[in-house]
Chain A
């Protein structure tokens, strides 16, 4: 009896999976966008905020799209399964994502097979460049940050780096190692989401660096790291602290303001136009984790994907062609284009210095 029940259950599932739910796209059908975001795991705070931003932006579009969210967990396996579900069950016209670079790289081989475009708002691994042209990203490449950061600290011969073992941070570290070479005298890393970095800090102190590059991920580890560094504040007052976008948000430095004063940060350029400010203020809740830049890129990714799908239907072209051949619109990508690359061109890193508790663009 149990066996029969199980077989019937399996048959129902298989029938459901096999049922071709892909409706034929036509001009009258709403645009369907599949979104890959981490809704669980360490990156879930980003995913939740991104979902909020996209839902809000969607309401602002002339013709809102149907958004289908799937949990990619910042993991390759989950991203691939989620991708297949979006394409086959939901019949989406395009993918917004992946969020983490590992997800984006994992779905890349599937894009051409399924004749679908993925536009990521956040992925930044240099490995994305050179992949299939169905994979595009409007987040800036780690190479941009590494180039600008390395140029700024090239005069020093004693550089230490502390990195979180996360795909974004390790990719940035690798880019920095290529540029700085032997100038790096201490190169420590800690596990993703680790909470106790005190021994690493001691090891870095023992190397007596002139410059310390802090390379944790945005969120809790960055706050923990800064707090634990502040326990040796008298030592680090004489060391130049450098970091990336992690410490741009004032909240990330609020618990150790004295140590963070004069910290140099390299991140996406400041987006302080009236349009961006109004958009951020109109959001139903704060984007402390995702940040202003990635909220803007998420909004732009949705806007441009929906526009491209609509245009492809009207012009009888592909979504990829529409994205590739026309300049983008939006808060951060206005007027920019891909110029044959996977990364959006024309995004430069901004240099900020923390002055009186605020990250000030230089």
Chain B
């Protein structure tokens, strides 16, 4: 039982990390219909910004550096990808975003070298909750992730701001005619999404270590979670983020030993899950069949 609970606990932390990025992807998709896969690299860059601030000597500097990095890359992303929103070419935006992400990772590797960095030296502090162990950064990840998921769900589904967000990409001319500055909204969303990505970059780095391409696999999983959950359904995105983390872990840890599933099978299972779910539910796990005229 302890083993089962510990696997769930570790997978929940991983799932929350995926959730952060999936929410960032969701927000950008909501306003511009573009899948901004460079968010993982931006998360990594914010982690390195935090690290650089720590080297200078204080936590405040570290926070400031990572915020500056998030703002900068958020704004840069907006400048690069806005054109594809205007020309209604989201897939080209995906290509540019992917290139941007790889470029950021290459630059990080050049500046900071490929060897990993630790934000917290030594063994991490452990929090024991009824026999289940969490690392302290893992607890922060869960707590902040929970608050963020709730806030995003309420904001997007229940508030006028959320309705405005969704309408910006659906009918931009109508939104403009209502006097809403959609350019400002999109710019803000890019920056906020980068900040959210930066938070997970710092927390994930604290929980393990900082490497130039730590964000890539996380982004791809988040990217898949966005579509498996339904790219216009935030509830689905939240649920899918955890499903795609929990199910592969259970397959790896509980499959009969004759299968010899090891940890390296994880991305293979994520892909297989996505394939199965999207084949039966192309619009997401909570989608309903819509009559098409």
Q: Are A and B subunits of one complex?
A: yes
Partner-B contacts on A (CB < 8 A): 40-42, 44-45, 48, 165, 187-191, 193-200, 202-203, 205-206, 219-220, 223-224, 227, 230-233, 255-256, 289
Residues of A within 8 A of B197 (CB): none
- Contact assessment for B7 and A199 in the assembled complex, using a CB-CB cutoff below 8 Å: yes
Chain A to chain B: the 9 pairs with minimum beta-carbon distance, closest first:
A195-B208, A220-B116, A206-B3, A230-B123, A255-B122, A189-B262, A190-B263, A44-B114, A45-B115
CA distance A231 to B137 in the complex (A): 13
A-B contact sample (4 more), CB < 8 A, given A45-B115, A195-B211: A223-B118, A224-B209, A227-B123, A230-B123
CA distance A258 to B249 in the complex (A): 30
- Contact assessment for A40 and B109 in the assembled complex, using a CB-CB cutoff below 8 Å: yes
Identify which of residues 115-140 in chain B touch chain A, using a CB-to-CB cut-off of 8 Å.
115-116, 118, 121-124, 126, 133, 135
Min CB distance B48 to A, Å, is 14
Can you name 22 A-B pairs with beta carbons within 8 Å?
A44-B113, A45-B113, A187-B262, A188-B263, A189-B263, A195-B208, A196-B208, A197-B263, A199-B253, A202-B6, A202-B7, A202-B10, A202-B253, A203-B3, A205-B3, A220-B115, A220-B211, A224-B208, A227-B122, A231-B123, A232-B133, A233-B123
Residues of A within 8 A of B124 (CB): 227, 231
CA distance A106 to B256 in the complex (A): 36
Is B191 among interface residues, defined by CB-CB distance under 8 A?
no
- Contact assessment for B253 and A203 in the assembled complex, using a CB-CB cutoff below 8 Å: yes
- Contact assessment for A195 and B214 in the assembled complex, using a CB-CB cutoff below 8 Å: yes
- Contact assessment for B263 and A199 in the assembled complex, using a CB-CB cutoff below 8 Å: yes
- Contact assessment for B126 and A40 in the assembled complex, using a CB-CB cutoff below 8 Å: no
CA distance A117 to B250 in the complex (A): 49
In the complex, what residue of chain A is closest to B249 when comparing beta carbons? A199
- Contact assessment for A219 and B115 in the assembled complex, using a CB-CB cutoff below 8 Å: yes
Is B14 among interface residues, defined by CB-CB distance under 8 A?
yes
Residues of A within 8 A of B113 (CB): 44-45, 48
- Contact assessment for A231 and B135 in the assembled complex, using a CB-CB cutoff below 8 Å: yes
A199's partner among B10, B135, B211, B213 (CB-CB below 8 A) is: B10
Identify which of residues 188-245 in chain B touch chain A, using a CB-to-CB cut-off of 8 Å.
207-209, 211, 213-214
CA distance A200 to B123 in the complex (A): 17
Residues of A within 8 A of B135 (CB): 231
Is B66 among interface residues, defined by CB-CB distance under 8 A?
no
Residues of B within 8 A of A195 (CB): 116, 208-209, 211, 214
Min CB distance A74 to B, Å, is 11
Min CB distance A174 to B, Å, is 14
Is B11 among interface residues, defined by CB-CB distance under 8 A?
yes
Residues of B within 8 A of A230 (CB): 123
Residues of A within 8 A of B253 (CB): 199, 202-203
Residues of A within 8 A of B252 (CB): 199, 203
A220's partner among B7, B109, B209, B264 (CB-CB below 8 A) is: B209
A190's partner among B3, B7, B249, B264 (CB-CB below 8 A) is: B264
Identify which of residues 83-114 in chain B touch chain A, using a CB-to-CB cut-off of 8 Å.
109, 113-114
CA distance A195 to B133 in the complex (A): 18
Residues of B within 8 A of A165 (CB): 264
Residues of B within 8 A of A227 (CB): 122-124
A189's partner among B115, B211, B264 (CB-CB below 8 A) is: B264
CA distance A45 to B116 in the complex (A): 10
B114's partner among A41, A190, A197, A256 (CB-CB below 8 A) is: A41
In the complex, what residue of chain B is closest to A255 when comparing beta carbons? B122
Min CB distance B117 to A, Å, is 9
Residues of B within 8 A of A189 (CB): 262-264
Flag B138-155 by CB within 8 Å of A: 1 or 0 each: 000000000000000000
Residues of B within 8 A of A191 (CB): 263-264
CA distance A37 to B22 in the complex (A): 38
Residues of A within 8 A of B264 (CB): 165, 189-191
CA distance A227 to B206 in the complex (A): 13
Given known A-B contacts A199-B249, A220-B211, A227-B124, A187 and B115 have beta carbons under 8 A apart: no
Given known A-B contacts A195-B214, A202-B6, A202-B7, A255 and B263 have beta carbons under 8 A apart: no
In the complex, what residue of chain A is closest to B117 when comparing beta carbons? A220
- Contact assessment for B263 and A194 in the assembled complex, using a CB-CB cutoff below 8 Å: yes
CA distance A54 to B206 in the complex (A): 36
- Contact assessment for A198 and B10 in the assembled complex, using a CB-CB cutoff below 8 Å: yes
Min CB distance A204 to B, Å, is 11
CA distance A193 to B61 in the complex (A): 29
CA distance A255 to B209 in the complex (A): 13
The winner among A194, A205, A230 for most chain B CB atoms within 10 A is A194
Min CB distance A261 to B, Å, is 14
Flag B141-172 by CB within 8 Å of A: 1 or 0 each: 00000000000000000000000000000000
CA distance A190 to B10 in the complex (A): 15
CA distance A129 to B208 in the complex (A): 38
Min CB distance A182 to B, Å, is 12
Min CB distance B83 to A, Å, is 23
Flag B3-30 by CB within 8 Å of A: 1 or 0 each: 1001100110010000000000000000
